[in-house]
Amino acid sequence: MKILVINAGSSSLKYQLINMEDESVIAKGNCDRIGIDGHIKHTTFDGRVIDTDCTFPTHTEAFEKLVEVLTTGEGKVIDSMSEISAVGHRIVQGAEIFSKTTLVTDEVIQQIDDLSELAPVHNHPHALALRACKKVIPETTPQVVVFDTAFHQTMPEKAFMFGMPYECYEKYHVRKYGFHGTSHRFVTQALAEALGKPLSELKIVSCHLGNGSSITAVDGGKSVDTSMGFTPLDGVIMGTRSGCVDPSAVTFIENKKHLSPSEMSDYLNKKSGFLGISGISSDNRDITAAAQHGDKKAQLAGEMLRYEIKKYIGSYAAVMNGLDAVLFTGGIGENSDDLRADVCRDMEFFGIKLDEAANAGLRGKLQRISAPDSKVEVWVVPTNEELLIARDTRDLVGNL
Ligand code: ADP
């Protein structure tokens, strides 16, 4: 069985074609600059690469090009699209409507589009891509949607509500939704397998740390709280996003700098975080390098992230009444051994003791990094959201 996984943005269409027999990637790439001009980069399992400019006025032309490169010419990996059993799409916001992976119908696409107000940057492009995909793939090929928010729909009301008037929730659907759900679900399952224990018996704090970062308390396989909120802006400090701030600071700066609400939103989403504190870069590698050269603001940005992660681990252990494992994933979590060491330092109180040697230099590999006598296991678990989307898609269409 072959599954095509799609992650569509407003100007891009990332894809992976996965062979479900051995879960290997047959081909992957990105149709980029949709609505601007157009570019495709396509790589096959055996190393063939297509890297060329195109014309992509809309997502439909990008899908047409994707079909062309998969089935013809230099990048060909299948004879026809009918070899693809199903298409799985990543969708950012499913709100309270979608608590699980769902088969696509016209009504589902419309519901995803209707949720655009809650995720303006993501959901409308997702709907455009779903409609374009429908035009291009065979009518008999099922499409499936996997939501970033779905995993967090198990959070209790006391965790997802904000202390604002109740009408904000009732009338405007303002609440914590949480994001990165597909990643947190994938890595916690992978960790349970590695530990050889049922996920239903584990209390895990899952730290997904990348350009965007979120930390989730997973109790018995269910998300009970998470650091991102109504949007992916909340929680720990990120590449360009502020993370949690006192809301009064937002209105104060809005007034001081005479910013409109959307300008203020840009300020918090694109100019804050590592970039805003350091004035150097949003990228953890640049921040680490500058910090090592003595840059005080870069050092501060790194210290803030480490401090905030510690606070989440502590509060989520309290919420779950225990902690079996902490895991690190995402570009920073999987690769930054110094950050992992700093976070785990002085955590003996929680039963966390790092194996410094196991941690040092470890990048992108599933491995325990806690000492044998650590009460809490600490692991690096590489994430693979595309694979989970493909597995979900297979499971859903397999039951049709
Ligand atoms: P996204 O949230 O966009 O998916 P990623 O998960 O790819 O982002 O994470 C990107 C972050 O990971 C960047 O801040 C980058 O500096 C960091 N990163 C990637 N490789 C390393 C590395 N070897 N050491 C430290 N940080 C790294």
* pLDDT tens-digit readout, 22-75: 999 999 999 999 999 999 999 999 999 999 999 999 999 999 999 999 999 999
Is 169 domain-assigned? no
Ligand 1 atom closest to Cα of 282? Answer: 14
Number of domains in the chain: 2
Read off the pLDDT band of 123 (50, 70, 90). Answer: very high
Residue 369 has pLDDT above 90, yes or no: yes
Ligand 1 atom closest to Cα of 285? Answer: 16
271 in the same domain as 139: no
Identify the helix (H) or strand (E) that includes residue 318: helix 296-320
What gap in Å lies between CA 63 and CA 85, rounded to an integer? Answer: 17
Give the percent of the chain with pLDDT over 90: 97
Please provide the DSSP assignment of 92-144 as one string.
Answer: S--TTT-SS-EE--HHHHHHHHHGGGGSTTTHHHHHHHHHHHHHHS-TTS-EE
Is 244 domain-assigned? yes
**Could you tell me the distance, in angstroms and rounded to a whole number, from the CA of residue 125 to the centre of ligand 1?**
25
**Could you tell me the distance, in angstroms and rounded to a whole number, from the CA of residue 357 to the centre of ligand 1?**
22
Residue 371 has pLDDT above 80, yes or no: yes
Is 187 domain-assigned? no
pLDDT of residue 120: 78
pLDDT of residue 350: 87
Higher pLDDT, 272 or 117: 272
Residue 399 has pLDDT above 80, yes or no: no
From the centroid of its chain, how far is CA 358? Answer: 26
Ligand 1 atom closest to Cα of 288? Answer: 25
Average pLDDT, integer, range 73-95: 96
Give me 381's structure tokens. 């678990």
Residue 82 has pLDDT above 70, yes or no: yes
**Could you tell me the distance, in angstroms and rounded to a whole number, from the CA of residue 330 to the centre of ligand 1?**
7
What is the edge-to-edge ordering of all strands in the sheet holding 39-44?
A: 49-53, 39-44, 24-32, 13-19, 2-8, 84-91, 143-147, 102-103
* pLDDT tens-digit readout, 281-326: 999 999 999 999 999 999 999 999 999 999 999 999 999 999 999 9
Is 163 domain-assigned? no
CB atoms under 10 Å from CB of 73, counted, come to 11
Residue 400 has pLDDT above 80, yes or no: no
Residue 29: strand pairing partners: 15, 42
Average pLDDT, integer, range 91-108: 97
CA neighbours closer than 13 Å in the CB half-sphere of residue 130: 26
365 in the same domain as 225: yes
What gap in Å lies between CA 184 and CA 224, rounded to an integer? Answer: 12
pLDDT of residue 119: 87
Does 148 qualify as catalytic in the annotation? yes
Question: Which residues, 6+ apart, have CB-to-CB distance to 259 below 8 Å?
Answer: 253, 267
Q: Work out the angle at residue 216's Cα, subtended by the Cα atoms of residues 176 and 184, and round it to the nearest 5 degrees.
A: 105
Give the percent of the chain with pLDDT over 70: 100
Ligand 1: residue whose CA is nearest its atom 27: 332
Ligand 1: residue whose CA is nearest its atom 25: 336
**Could you tell me the distance, in angstroms and rounded to a whole number, from the CA of residue 199 to the centre of ligand 1?**
27
Q: Phi, psi (5° rounding) for residue 322?
A: 145, 170
Query: Choosing from 32, 79, 106, 148, which is the catalytic residue?
Result: 148
Ligand 1 pocket at CB < 6 A: 210-212, 239, 283-285, 330-332, 335-336, 363
Pocket test for ligand 1, best of 183, 206, 280, 335 (most atoms within 8 A of CB): 335
Ligand 1: residue whose CA is nearest its atom 22: 335
Is 51 domain-assigned? yes
pTM of the model: 0.95
117 in the same domain as 224: no
Is 390 domain-assigned? no
Ligand 1 atom closest to Cα of 210? Answer: 9
206 in the same domain as 141: no
**Could you tell me the distance, in angstroms and rounded to a whole number, from the CA of residue 255 to the centre of ligand 1?**
34
Identify the helix (H) or strand (E) that includes residue 14: strand 13-19
Q: Which of 111, 129, 147 is the last residue of a domain?
A: 147
Give me 221's structure tokens. 């396989």
72 in the same domain as 135: yes
Distance from the first to the final alpha carbon of the chain: 15
> Can you list the pairs that 263-271 forms with residues at least 24 positions away whose Cβ atoms lie under 8 Å?
268/233, 268/241, 268/242, 269/233, 269/240, 269/241, 269/242, 270/240, 270/241, 271/240
Pocket test for ligand 1, best of 332, 342, 386 (most atoms within 8 A of CB): 332
140 in the same domain as 46: yes
Q: Is 144 left (phi over 0), alpha (psi -120 to 50) or beta?
A: beta
**Could you tell me the distance, in angstroms and rounded to a whole number, from the CA of residue 102 to the centre of ligand 1?**
30
CATH number (domain holding residue 15): 3.30.420.40
302 in the same domain as 371: yes
**Could you tell me the distance, in angstroms and rounded to a whole number, from the CA of residue 286 to the centre of ligand 1?**
10
* pLDDT tens-digit readout, 202-243: 999 999 999 999 999 999 999 999 999 999 999 999 999 999
* pLDDT tens-digit readout, 157-213: 999 999 999 999 999 999 999 999 999 999 999 999 999 999 999 999 999 999 999
Ligand 1 atom closest to Cα of 339? Answer: 25
Could you tell me if 89 and 150 are in contact, meaning their C-beta atoms sit under 8 angstroms apart?
Answer: no
221 in the same domain as 137: no
What gap in Å lies between CA 350 and CA 344, rounded to an integer? Answer: 10
Question: Which residues, 6+ apart, have CB-to-CB distance to 210 below 8 Å?
Answer: 239, 330, 331, 332, 333
Residue 83 has pLDDT above 70, yes or no: yes
pLDDT of residue 10: 87
Is 352 domain-assigned? yes
Could you tell me if 225 and 321 are in contact, meaning their C-beta atoms sit under 8 angstroms apart?
Answer: no
Q: Which domain holds residue 338?
A: 197-385
Ligand 1 atom closest to Cα of 383? Answer: 6
Is 233 domain-assigned? yes
What gap in Å lies between CA 39 and CA 387, rounded to an integer? Answer: 25
209 in the same domain as 110: no
131 in the same domain as 16: yes
Q: In the predicted model, what is the mean pLDDT of the chain?
A: 96
238 in the same domain as 138: no
**Could you tell me the distance, in angstroms and rounded to a whole number, from the CA of residue 285 to the centre of ligand 1?**
7
298 in the same domain as 239: yes
Give me 384's structure tokens. 């693979």
* Helices vs strands, H then E, count in the chain: 15, 14
